[in-house]
DNA sequence: GACGATTTCTTCTAAATATACGAATAAATG
DNA sequence: CATTTATTCGTATATTTAGAAGAAATCGTC
């Protein structure tokens, strides 16, 4: 193991969230998106730790956003997925799909 | 968080492996099945630790197998997934599917 | 237009959990 | 008893957790 392209579940979800929200993915919105779709509420500590780690590994890039104009709010740190991130995500999803293939599960796919 | 029904990626893969191999799922065969399908080679330590944890949480059950008849070999510990395990697995997979839904990815599903 | 209140977003810290490896151990057969 | 297959163990590393603290922006009021 110890393969930088390996992704944990929450890393997969974070990458998917970033893609879904593009170009409006930042810490809080990513957390909200995951909560909305999976009903799982990660702490800020978790989300930001994962974002930092994914960026260190070259899976995502960040840029500091402009002032929003709306009440309050520190500047957002926007994230986008990189080519390497997309490839790693895809490989991870394919691996899961290979494990699922042909099994009778009531899930959406399968 | 801290929800016993939450599953990590490797836990999902292990449960899927157990279902696929039924009724011949035991430590070594599960590891081999995951390696075969995902090309990921987990150590024995990882696999058995996960099996123990899943059993503690009521997701799988084990029974000691009979002697095999073939050369060598300690008795196998066979695993089967429980109803709770299937439900947790399904919930996890549904959550991932919800994150993936509608995104254009070259993966098998999507 | 300065000030503090308010809002939104990010960072930090320490502890709990999970994963990784592979050597050691156990149990079966020829 | 040598060989084979399977499981357990010990220890190191990495990830995740939770929420309080901190930073940065706007609003309302004077």
Taking only the tens place, the pLDDT of each residue in A57-94 is 999 999 999 777 777 778 999 999 999 999 999 999 99
Q: Which domains does chain B have, with CATH numbers?
A: 9-66+73-93 (1.10.10.10)
Sorting pLDDT into bands at 50, 70 and 90, what band is A23? very high
pLDDT at B104 (0 to 100): 87
pLDDT at res. A109: 53
Q: Which nucleotide is nearest to A48 (CA to C1')?
A: C10
- From the list A13, A41, A94, the residue facing B99 with the nearest CB is A13
Look up residue B107 and give its two tokens. 């993966």
Predicted confidence at residue B110, as pLDDT, reads 44
Q: What is the pLDDT of residue B49?
A: 98
Question: What is the pLDDT at residue A73?
Answer: 75
Is the per-residue pLDDT at B58 higher than 70? yes
Give the Cα-Cα-Cα angle B16, B19, B25 (nearest 5 degrees): 105
Interface test with A, best of B3, B9, B15, B33 (most A CBs within 10 A): B9
Task: Report how far Cα A35 is from the mean position of its chain's Cα atoms.
Answer: 12
Mean pLDDT in residue range B38-61: 97
Q: Is the pLDDT of residue B109 over 60?
A: no
Instruction: Enter the tokens of residue A94.
Output: 């394919």
- Kindly tell me the number of DSSP H helices and DSSP E strands found in chain A: 4, 2
Distance from CA of B71 to the nearest CA of A (A): 30
Q: How many whole angstroms separate alpha carbon B14 and alpha carbon B8?
A: 10
């Amino acid at each position: 193991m110890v393969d930088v392209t390996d992704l944990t579940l929450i890393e997969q979800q974070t990458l998917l969230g970033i893609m879904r929200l593009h170009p409006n993915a930042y810490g809080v919105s990513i957390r909200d998106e995951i909560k909305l779709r999976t009903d799982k509420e990660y702490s800020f500590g978790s989300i930001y730790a994962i974002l930092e780690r994914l960026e260190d590994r070259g899976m995502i890039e960040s840029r500091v956003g402009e002032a929003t104009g709306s009440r309050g709010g520190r500047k957002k740190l926007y994230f986008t997925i990189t080519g390497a991130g997309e490839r790693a995500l895809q490989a991870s999803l394919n691996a899961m799909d290979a494990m699922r293939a042909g099994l009778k599960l009531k899930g959406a796919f399968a």
